[in-house]
Structure 1
Amino acid sequence: MIFSRNGFGGAEDVEKECVEYYEGEPLSYMTTTAIARLRELAALAPVIPTTTRTIEQFQRIALPGAPWKYAITSNGGNILVDGIPDPAWRLAIDDQVRASGATLADVGAELRSRIDDSWVTKYREADELFCYLVVRPDEVPSGFLAEWDTWCRANGWSASQQGRKIYTMPDAVCKSLAVGEVRTRLTDAGELASTATLFTAGDGALDAEMLKAADAAIRPAHGELHDLNFTAPNLTITTATGILAGEEILDWFHAAVPVTEPA
């Protein structure tokens, strides 16, 4: 939904607004059309912002449609309820991570033993849940990602690359699980029919399970999943790329919302 200048995809002349600043500098944008469409969508149906970003990184976005009853951050490791992290969900996630494999400390130590400054610019830990590297993509050693992923999968984790970032994620931290939890809460509260359909969008490998779990899903014709040629029976791929794909995705969501007849 949001794009840096490098992600505009040739649509530099389209009218846009900045929706995220970092250290006082503009960072991420949406087209004015996408801003209006997202606000409209949030008024029509439950919209759940879902991201790999940390809580802090998510909260610096002025995402149209707020305030959000629910939002999912940290790749599913945190569910925000009215902007506040749900402690019960986080406790359950932490218990699952401990039970299913290596700890973040173990993984971080192993990862740091395999990297050096010639191709890694940063090592970061996110919300005490997972870690990631910021790399120079063209200088990542051949075979590193596959070898690292093999080690991770033997220890209850996995690795994937999205642009300049290589994520190392515990299996228990998964967007689709958090989306399922929010859906259950909305249904139990009577805010969502048990027969309601689920529509999702994403562009990275960490979105794949969430896309496959939906009744219908869409991804842009760019990004990590596009590079992987990811597809599924329930998946639509945009015709547009870059920031205009965000508009197309929102149009797709609008087309999916059932029309309610006046009472």
Structure 2
Amino acid sequence: MLRFNLQNANKITSFEKATCLGKAWSFNLYDLRPDIKSSFLSQTMGSNNIKASCEDFKQAPVWKRSDEKSYSVGIFEMGISEEESFVGSKNCEGRDDFWNDPTYWVMRPQVPGAKTFHYQEQVGIEQGDVYYDKSCKGKICFASPLVNIKKVWEKFVTKSGMKMFIVRDQSYLNALMKKDIAAAREMLDELEKIHFWFYENMKSRNNTLILVSSSNPREFEFPKEGKEWAEFEKSGNHIIFRNSGLISPVFASGASSENFCGVYNENEIGPRVFWKPKRKKFDIFNF
């Protein structure tokens, strides 16, 4: 969708600059087309045993499966309802890893008594805490996702040791489902800016992986030209939605990005972050 709105048709987006492009099969043991939360849990848990219930949180997340020392984990959510949020699942009985390990920042109106963050103030990064965006009033957040993420990341990155920073977005899908093409394009443009910012800022860090995964892909047909295209731009008409797709794109750049080339199941995405090449010896005289 970005391609059709560029002033320069030859401009390359940061997604297209990714070192490796992969495809992930979006299914698990119980659903051929799992919902977006289940798909993301499958990626984060490294498991296809996802039932969309509290049982899912009895499994260990991928940051607990690394051979490295413990990770500092940050999860930034935008466009995600309380029900779809990981924060909304805190009442589930299970492992404490998902609740006590990460720091959460969510772009939603704060709940009574909750901690908050604002891009013009010092951002809290305490492990296990949840911070709500002070700029969100009702259904509107006045701070942009890019501004918020920059502020949060600049504080989070000061933590010592290994770090995993996860950004979850559902606002692009929400706009598509409403056929609000202007909002969808605006959000996709914002996501591209976020990816570009990380892409440019991580060039000097040879130990950093930038990974963009997706889930619950929606396949639809664009109109061909002329009046139909104009009406599509204006009101979302003349597009045909189909069932969610069975395979979704993955973009990777930086350290270990080669692990994400090819086609694989979505529950392999998390574990592939920690794949390391193994040296093999070949005895050319042993036939």
Q: Give the alignment's TM-score, normalised by structure 1.
A: 0.40
* Greater helix share, structure number: 1
Bigger relative CO (Cα 8 Å, ≥ 6 apart): 2
Larger radius of gyration between Structure 1 and Structure 2 = 2
Q: Give the alignment's TM-score, normalised by structure 2.
A: 0.38
